[in-house]
């Protein structure tokens, strides 16, 4: 049994550094035998149906704070999150990839995380069992390096969001100095790319263990 992974990329820029790295990691995971799904604002040529299923959350609405999910555990908004919610539940591991915008993740990705309120409501309503088995998560944040606050604050919403789908961040990688599209592929960032590959390999191994443990518990 090979694990299934969800890659959530927060960059709204087509062919930017986040999407370029995401495509690279998806290819590596696919070669390792993983079933991959990608959720991102934009779809680029590197993602096709033969390598990974794709969901676009471009233009997706953020949380309305209407309280509808508090009654049923289901978000009242009918959009891309209807696909992302069950995928988060089904997969064995998650990879976040986000740019840093003014000390946080992109607004597109923040909208996704804010919609995790429905997942929290499901907990409160007793619709999900909160146990000791937590799926592994890898968080990667990329930035140009000119923000005086760096990338660190952007990890906070990723870790908070991961908690809502019973995820546990096992690795986090901060990459700076990547501003112009394609810079991530330059030799100056070969060490960062290698770190991303190694962290992904660790995630795949732990996702494999998670998948096996979940099967035994069912």
Rounded to whole angstroms, how far apart are CA atoms 79 and 194?
A: 36
What was the pLDDT predicted at 44? Answer: 65
Rounded to whole angstroms, how far apart are CA atoms 129 and 197?
A: 33
What was the pLDDT predicted at 52? Answer: 65
For residue 97, which of 189, 207, 193, 2 has the smallest C-alpha distance?
Answer: 193
Q: Is the pTM of this model over 0.85?
A: yes
Residues of the chain with pLDDT under 70: 44-52
pLDDT in tens, 14-31: 889 999 999 999 999 999
What was the pLDDT predicted at 166? Answer: 92
């Amino acid at each position: 049994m090979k694990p299934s992974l969800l890659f959530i990329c927060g960059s709204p820029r087509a062919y930017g550094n986040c999407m370029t790295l995401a495509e690279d990691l998806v290819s590596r995971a696919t070669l390792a035998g993983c079933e991959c799904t990608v959720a991102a604002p934009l779809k680029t040529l590197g993602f096709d149906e033969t390598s990974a299923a794709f969901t676009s959350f471009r233009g997706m609405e953020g949380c309305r704070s209407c309280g509808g999910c508090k009654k049923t555990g289901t978000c009242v908004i009918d959009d891309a999150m209807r696909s992302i919610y069950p995928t988060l539940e089904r997969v064995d591991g998650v990879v976040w990839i986000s740019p840093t915008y003014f000390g946080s993740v992109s607004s597109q990705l923040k909208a996704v995380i804010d919609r995790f309120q429905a997942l929290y409501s499901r907990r409160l309503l007793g619709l999900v069992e909160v146990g000791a088995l937590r799926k592994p998560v890898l968080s990667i944040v990329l930035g140009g390096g000119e923000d005086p606050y760096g990338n660190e604050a952007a990890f906070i919403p990723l870790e908070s969001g991961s908690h809502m789908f019973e995820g546990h961040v096992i690795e986090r990688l901060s990459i700076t100095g990547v501003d112009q599209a394609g810079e991530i592929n330059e030799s100056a960032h070969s060490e960062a790319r290698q770190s991303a590959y190694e962290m992904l390999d660790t995630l795949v191994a732990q996702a494999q263990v998670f998948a096996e443990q979940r099967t035994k518990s069912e």
